[in-house]
C-alpha cells in the first residue's frame, strides 16, 4: 500500500515556487511543461523541460519538473528512474533551502523502493515545512513507512502516531496499515490485527492490506479459515494487476491451505 503524491498535489506545490527567472522564453517553456505534466503528458512536458535545461542547465524548477516527469513516465525503466534521481538530487544541491527540492527527491527515492536513502531528504523536507503545511502529513506518512521498512521502531512511531489523532490523517488507512506492520515487528500480533482491521474498515479493497491480514491469520495466528478468506479477497482485488508472479504465489499458498476433498 503506497500513498503517493498526485500530480495535482505536486504541481500545486510547484505553482507557488516556479517561474522565478526573468527569461521570457524560459518562463514560457516552463509553463508549457507544467501544463502538459498536469494533464499526464510527461513526454511532452519533458520536451519543454529539455529546452529549459538547454537554456539554463541549473534552473531548479526545470530540474524538478524534468526529474518528476522522467520518473513518472509510463515508459520509465530502471535507467530512466536513475537518471531522474540524478536530476532531483542536483536540485537539492543547488537549492538546499527549498522544500520542494527535498520533497521531490525523497518522494522519488521512496517510490523507487529506496526507503533507507529516502529518510534523510524527507526529514529535510519536513524540517522546511511550516506547521500548517498541507504537505506535512504526506511527508510524515512517507517517513513513517520508510522507518517501518527499516525497522526503526521509535522513529516510525514518532511520525505515525501523531497522524492517527488528527484529521484528515486519522482517516488514512495507510496510517493503520503501517502501525500494524510495526506491531508485527514487535511480535504484538493482536495489536497488529487491530490496526489492520481499522485500515480494512477504511479501505476494504486494497490488496496490500488484504494480504497483510491474510498473512497475519496464516503465519502468526494459525487460523487457516480466516487466512483463506483474505487470500481470496486479495486475489480478487488483484484481478486486473499485471503482477502475475505475486498472484501465483498467493494461489500456491491458498492451495496449500485449502483442505483436499476426500
Q: What does 69-112 look like in DSSP terms, one character per residue?
A: HHHH-TT--HHHHHHHHHHHHHHHHH-TT-HHHHHHHHHHHHHT
Is residue 165 one of the residues assigned to a domain?
yes
Burial class (CB in 10 A: 0-12, 13-18, 19+), 136: middle
Of the residues 143, 168, 196, the one at which a domain ends: 196
Is residue 101 one of the residues assigned to a domain?
no
Please give the mean pLDDT across all residues of the chain.
88
Of the residues 196, 219, 245, the one at which a domain ends: 196
CATH code, 172: 1.25.40
pLDDT of residue 115: 94
Instruction: Assess whether 44 and 127 both reside in one domain.
Output: no
pLDDT of residue 21: 46
Instruction: Assess whether 59 and 37 both reside in one domain.
Output: yes
Instruction: Assess whether 121 and 189 both reside in one domain.
Output: yes
Place of cell 521509535: 154
Contact 109/68 with Cβ under 8 angstroms?
no
Q: Domain total for the chain?
A: 3
Is residue 103 one of the residues assigned to a domain?
no
Is residue 106 one of the residues assigned to a domain?
no
Give the three-class secondary structure for 188: coil
Confidence at 108, pLDDT banded by 50, 70, 90: very high
Is residue 98 one of the residues assigned to a domain?
no
Q: State the pTM of this model.
A: 0.82
Confidence at 27, pLDDT banded by 50, 70, 90: confident
pLDDT of residue 1: 42
Total residue count of the chain as it appears in this document: 262
pLDDT of residue 7: 44
Instruction: Assess whether 76 and 159 both reside in one domain.
Output: no
Which domain covers residue 124, as residue numbers? 113-196
Whether 157 has a pLDDT exceeding 60, the answer reads yes
Q: Where are the alpha helices (DSSP H) in the chain?
A: 7-15, 24-38, 42-55, 60-72, 78-94, 99-111, 115-128, 136-149, 153-160, 173-185, 189-202, 207-215, 224-237, 244-257
Instruction: Assess whether 190 and 222 both reside in one domain.
Output: no
Amino acid at each position: 500500500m503506497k500513498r503517493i503524491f498526485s500530480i495535482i498535489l505536486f504541481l500545486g506545490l510547484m505553482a507557488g515556487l516556479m517561474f522565478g527567472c526573468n527569461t521570457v522564453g524560459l518562463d514560457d517553456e516552463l509553463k508549457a511543461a507544467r501544463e502538459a505534466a498536469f494533464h499526464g503528458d510527461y513526454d511532452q512536458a519533458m520536451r519543454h523541460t529539455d529546452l529549459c535545461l538547454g537554456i539554463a542547465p541549473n534552473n531548479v524548477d526545470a530540474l524538478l519538473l524534468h526529474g518528476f516527469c522522467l520518473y513518472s513516465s509510463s515508459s520509465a525503466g530502471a535507467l530512466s528512474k536513475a537518471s531522474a534521481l540524478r536530476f532531483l538530487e542536483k536540485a537539492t544541491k543547488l537549492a538546499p533551502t527549498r522544500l520542494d527540492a527535498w520533497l521531490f527527491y525523497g518522494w522519488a527515492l521512496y517510490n523507487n523502493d529506496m526507503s533507507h536513502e529516502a529518510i534523510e531528504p524527507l526529514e529535510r523536507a519536513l524540517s522546511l515545512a511550516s506547521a500548517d503545511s498541507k504537505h506535512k502529513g504526506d511527508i510524515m506518512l512517507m517517513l513513517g513507512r520508510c522507518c517501518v521498512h527499516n525497522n526503526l521502531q521509535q522513529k516510525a512511531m514518532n511520525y505515525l502516531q501523531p497522524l492517527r489523532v488528527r484529521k484528515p490523517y486519522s482517516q488514512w488507512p495507510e496510517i493503520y496499515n503501517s502501525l500494524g506492520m510495526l506491531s508485527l515487528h514487535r511480535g504484538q500480533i493482536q495489536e497488529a490485527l487491530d490496526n489492520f482491521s481499522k485500515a480494512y474498515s477504511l479501505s476494504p479493497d486494497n490488496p496490500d492490506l488484504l494480504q497483510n491480514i491474510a498473512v497475519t491469520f496464516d503465519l502468526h495466528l494459525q487460523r487457516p479459515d480466516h487466512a483463506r478468506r483474505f487470500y481470496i479477497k486479495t486475489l480478487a482485488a488483484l484481478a486486473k494487476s499485471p503482477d502475475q508472479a505475486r498472484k501465483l504465489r498467493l494461489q500456491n499458498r491458498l492451495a496449500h491451505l485449502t483442505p483436499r476433498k476426500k
